[in-house]
Amino acid sequence: MQPSGNAPIDRRHEGLDDWPSTDLIGSDRRGLPPAGPEGDVDAVLAVLHEVPDPEVPAVDVVELGIVRGIDWVEGRLRVQVTPTYSGCPATEAIEQQIEEALTAAGYVAPQIERRLSPAWTTDWITEEGREKLRAFGIAPPVGSASKRSLLGEDPAVPCPLCGSEHTERVSEFGSTACKALYRCRDCLEPFDYFKCL
């Protein structure tokens, strides 16, 4: 099944929220939900929600918006993944983690397909993902990816620690290329801002 338009896939059932996923780490695959029958996208999503982004483990690959398609080709599961940017050093690690998680859940030889077009945008990060970034201490993207984001204008970025909008950019780059380093002028704490891309 392909997602419609540019909206990220997010079709979790309420029952999955009770699943004890918060105790898992990337290498712990024993507690993954089992594979569902062919065509069961929700079962695949349940597994993918347990695959954290290696650079920002507070969010999973579905919440980050990089899972762009789930379907079956001749009985074999295919998951389409769009990297956050073409040079992202974590792309291969993410694809490997997805494949390992699906295999551990019982999917036989899942196919992970890299999809570069349309290019990923921070607009695809889910609302749940944005809240998790904030709770992790990273300010989520402000506004929408547009020409404005290419003009170098500094948006008003609320501090994820105290909520103040009295912040300033310290450096164009933070802990990774997709983040900028900011500082709050009220609580005086530095923080990463996930740039609007």
Q: Which CATH number fits domain 14-122: 1.20.120.550, 3.40.50.620, 3.30.300.130, 3.90.1150.10?
A: 3.30.300.130
Q: What is the pLDDT of residue 100?
A: 96
Q: What is the pLDDT of residue 155?
A: 77
Q: What is the pLDDT of residue 18?
A: 36
In whole angstroms, give the CA distance from residue 72 to residue 89: 28
Angle among Cα 136, 192, 59 to the nearest 5 degrees reads 35
Listed in order, strand segments (DSSP E) in 20-133 are 67-73, 76-81, 111-114
Contact present, 196 and 120 (Cβ < 8 Å) = no
Residues in a beta bridge with 14:
none
Q: What is the pLDDT of residue 132?
A: 97
Retrieve residue 58's tokens. 């507070």
Q: What is the pLDDT of residue 31?
A: 65
Structure pTM? 0.77
DSSP tag of 123: G
The 10s digit of each residue's pLDDT in 88-137 is 888 999 999 999 999 999 999 999 999 999 999 999 999 999 999 999 99
Contact present, 110 and 116 (Cβ < 8 Å) = no
Tens-binned pLDDT, residue by residue, of the chain (197 aa): 444 344 444 433 333 333 333 333 444 444 678 888 899 999 999 999 999 998 889 999 999 999 999 999 999 999 999 998 878 888 999 999 999 999 999 999 999 999 999 999 999 999 999 999 999 999 999 977 665 555 556 678 999 999 999 999 999 988 888 899 999 999 999 999 998 87
Cα dihedral 13, 16, 18, 21, rounded to 10, equals -150
- What is the residue extent of each domain of the chain? 14-122, 137-194
- Label residue 39 left, alpha or beta by phi (over 0 means left) and psi (-120 to 50 means alpha): left
